[in-house]
Amino acid sequence: MTGKGNKGFIKSISDFRRSAALAALCVLLVISAAGCGTADSTSGGSAGADAGKAVQGDTTEHSTTVFAMDTVMNITTYGGSDELLNKVQSRIEQLESMFSTTDENSEIYAVNRDGSAKVSSDTETLTKFALDICGKTNGALDISIYPVVREWGFTTGDFKVPDDSVIKDLLTHVDYRKVKLNENEDTITLDKDMKIDLGSVAKGYTGDQVINMLKEAGVQSALLDLGGNIQTLGSKTDGSDWRVAVQDPKDPSSGDYLGVVAISDKAVITSGGYERYFQGPDGKTYWHIIDPSTGRPAENGLISVTIIGDKGVYCDSLSTSLFIMGKEKAAEFWKQYQDFDMVLVSDDGEVDITEGIADRFELSNTKDYHLNVISK
């Protein structure tokens, strides 16, 4: 495969930032207005030291929209205050300033530029977690794949199909085991020509941080849509589950959905080839989920992976790594750990869900898809 030139023959299906901004539409929410109640008589923010704290019994809706991490984030709380959401926005922006690969003032940028840098507790914690998942998935997730992803143009919008020789050379610098995290000195050190990216876990970690902030403020019901990463705090205000719809990966532009899963206090995070892709000169579609073992878009029959679990960062990491693994290895991984649930969608129309959500997932498109349940 050759990769001469780029803009002359590449048809960009979605500009990177534009696709990220639209990612909030990639996982549709089927949420009845009923149960997301308005304020009762105990509305209004309290003053002084309790400012931003939720008033017990208050279900006043507060919402904010933030553009961060190259995506649109919508946060809605039932209880709390606008002041609390201002603090949430500041926290999101703080995390972005640490994890960004393009912000010259970020910690990850410094690590990549200098080969070693002192980092904050957030960056250290997230890197440690990511490296643990890299190990658990045998490198299906590899935070050092960044130079390869960049070469394909998925971080810049300058899309191209790289030459085989270029990919081969870049892969010599891809190995998460060579990322050295020194917790005593709070530093991350890389081998020569290595670069890392925490994008596969950053939004999930951010969602978890926001949920913790809301809990500490006394909020009992909230919905986070972080560019399609859905995280919920509690249930709806009437006690019923949130109903989250997973988009149909075969026809994402239609707005139709594959199915609906009922959840409370869970994260629902999807990775799919339809989210960011381009067409090459051969008419073939190339998507952004790169297999670290080949340096090319993962091709194993899966077109969408949705993970449901307690922590956003865990779901975020697995949605990418299990997509790369493929259906059989993903099922084996689930059977080994069984601390999450998943929806695997294959290009042949098969939909495989784990038994933990068998009574919570409803297949909406029965014409194009067939449902199977993965058991222990």
pLDDT of 98-130, one tens digit each? 999 999 999 999 999 999 999 999 999 999 999
Is the pLDDT assigned to residue 15 strictly greater than 70?
Answer: no
Q: Structure tokens of 45?
A: 């923010």
pLDDT digits over 157-187, tens only? 899 999 999 999 999 999 999 999 999 999 9
Domain at 99-199: CATH code:
1.10.3980.10
Percent of the chain residues topping a pLDDT of 70: 85
**Average pLDDT score over residue span 273-287:** 85
Q: Structure tokens of 258?
A: 């594959």
pLDDT reported for residue 22? 40
- Would you put residue 273 in left (φ > 0), alpha (ψ -120 to 50) or beta? alpha
* Other C-beta atoms lying within 10 Å of the C-beta of residue 194: 21
pLDDT reported for residue 52? 55
Range scoring the smallest mean pLDDT among 35-44, 216-225, 285-294: 35-44
Is the pLDDT assigned to residue 37 strictly greater than 70?
Answer: no
pLDDT reported for residue 55? 55
The reported pTM is 0.87
pLDDT digits over 194-242, tens only? 999 999 999 999 999 999 999 999 999 999 999 989 999 999 999 999 9
pLDDT reported for residue 7? 31
pLDDT-derived band at 42 (thresholds 50, 70, 90) equals very low
pLDDT-derived band at 53 (thresholds 50, 70, 90) equals low
pLDDT reported for residue 254? 79
194 contacts 34 by C-beta, under 8 angstroms: no
How far apart (Å, rounded) are the C-alpha atoms in residues 172 and 168? 7
Read off the amino acid at residue 238. Answer: D
Is the pLDDT assigned to residue 255 strictly greater than 50?
Answer: yes
Is the pLDDT assigned to residue 273 strictly greater than 60?
Answer: yes
In whole angstroms, how far apart are CA 292 and each of 124, 143, 153, 174, 282? Answer: 23, 9, 16, 7, 23
How far apart (Å, rounded) are the C-alpha atoms in residues 263 and 234? 9
